Structure 1
């Protein structure tokens, strides 16, 4: 059974359609990149996956469970605007993320806290923030705060990680190192990733699949009359050919 199932999802705001007829199945551990023109509902789709919003029609199921009505610890997210705890140090932002993963109040003590701090120090060193571990987020540059937000989301080890242009504020060198870090952690945890990006090469580099969101129907007199949907589903591991699920591949293989 597919890990993520999206069945005929529609979403509209105040009667204005944003998404329509979106259906998708994703196996656990897949990395799905999402591209498309601005305003085609890519970020809206991430919010639906997060359960921050409820579809106008259709449903989204994770691991066969009933559709979620609110975000849970199994879903991590990094949006375009970095979001960290301003009253905690850089190190303690990661410690808190690990505490929330354990479903605690955000505070841990004793050996568990020492282990969490050690993991936080290791993570910060890997992403180039070890030298600011004791500082507060307000003292960091925008790019450094975004790196912290990404590391915070990853520290909770979610089953699904949702990324909305997470590397847009980073310089090219840091961006490449974060690519490596994300791929390493994904390999370690087996988590499923959905990432919105405007960089097509980044989408194909990191993703197993690349989804293209667009509006197949267009009214020149009323550009907002129709919503967007998935118009292409490319297999980034197979030269960009149209994607086939593992089951479809098995059915197509005569052996």
Structure 2
């Protein structure tokens, strides 16, 4: 595998508070990286750096060997813990919106052949995440699991290379969460994604990831706790997951 994403001596500071320091990571294309660590260790800050929402205070982030643009791009998708869908649009409308904004930033509308193509792609994506019969439903009519499936489909509509997951299953019941694990693993393989997932659930990290990175502070100053940031304290490569698990049918949540 080749290095898709590299972080070289990356620091994140907010005023005099250091969140991350001396972060050096190389993430291969096709990896499923789980990020774990205590609250305040900079896990979500790391995701924002990769997404392009923030730039490092010091250091460099490279994508395909080139400096990462300090803006969100279609090559990166994100799914949050709370369902990031638009309540006033149907499930189908939510998925088509990304294509509409990309093609027409001002009007956010597609017409003719372009609209038919976007609609076909959106319906195919809905079927892929187990929402084939939910095109006309609004988010308020959907369960939590269905809304999170919709958020994942929304993130995949622009065919990103990197999918960022920020505690994506934390608000789901255990049974639905297990279904979502099967779903995300299948989509990871089918779409050949590189996934970076933040989770507080150690079992989830090891179940899904091909690599687990732990962020934490190695240095502590009781008189100035904000003056030291988190580093990668552990970086564990895991054995490939059993591909037979990806053939399990995903039940509707």
**Length-normalised TM-score, structure 2:** 0.85
Q: Report the secondary structure of 1:46's partner residue.
A: helix
Question: What does residue 55 of structure 1 align with?
Answer: 56
Structure 1 residues 114 and 180, CA gap change in structure 2 (3 angstroms): farther
Does the CA contact (< 8 Å) of 1:50 and 1:75 recur in 2? Answer: yes
Question: What does residue 41 of structure 2 align with?
Answer: 40
CA distance in 2, matches of 1:53, 1:208: 26
Structure 1 residues 172 and 115, CA gap change in structure 2 (3 angstroms): farther
Q: Report the secondary structure of 1:232's partner residue.
A: strand
**1:51-109 deviations in Å (ceiling 9; x for gaps):** 10011100111111223111111010112232222332111211223455xx4124334
Q: Report the secondary structure of 1:224's partner residue.
A: helix
Matching residue within 193, 214, 217 for 1:215: 217
Q: Report the secondary structure of 1:166's partner residue.
A: coil
Does the CA contact (< 8 Å) of 2:16 and 2:226 recur in 1? Answer: no
Q: CA deviation at 1:208?
A: 0.8
Written as runs of structure 1 = structure 2, the 5 A alignment for 1:44-123 is: 44-99=45-100, 103-105=102-104, 106-123=108-125
Question: What does residue 195 of structure 2 align with?
Answer: 193
Q: Report the secondary structure of 2:3's partner residue.
A: coil
Unmatched segments (≥5 aa) in structure 2:
242-253
CA distance in 2, matches of 1:197, 1:125: 27
Q: CA deviation at 1:36?
A: 0.5
Matching residue within 169, 183, 186 for 1:184: 186
**1:196-227 deviations in Å (ceiling 9; x for gaps):** 01111111111110000000001223322211
CA distance in 2, matches of 1:205, 1:98: 33
Does the CA contact (< 8 Å) of 1:127 and 1:178 recur in 2? Answer: no
**Length-normalised TM-score, structure 1:** 0.84
Greater shift, 200-209 or 175-184, is seen at 175-184
Q: CA deviation at 1:113?
A: 3.4
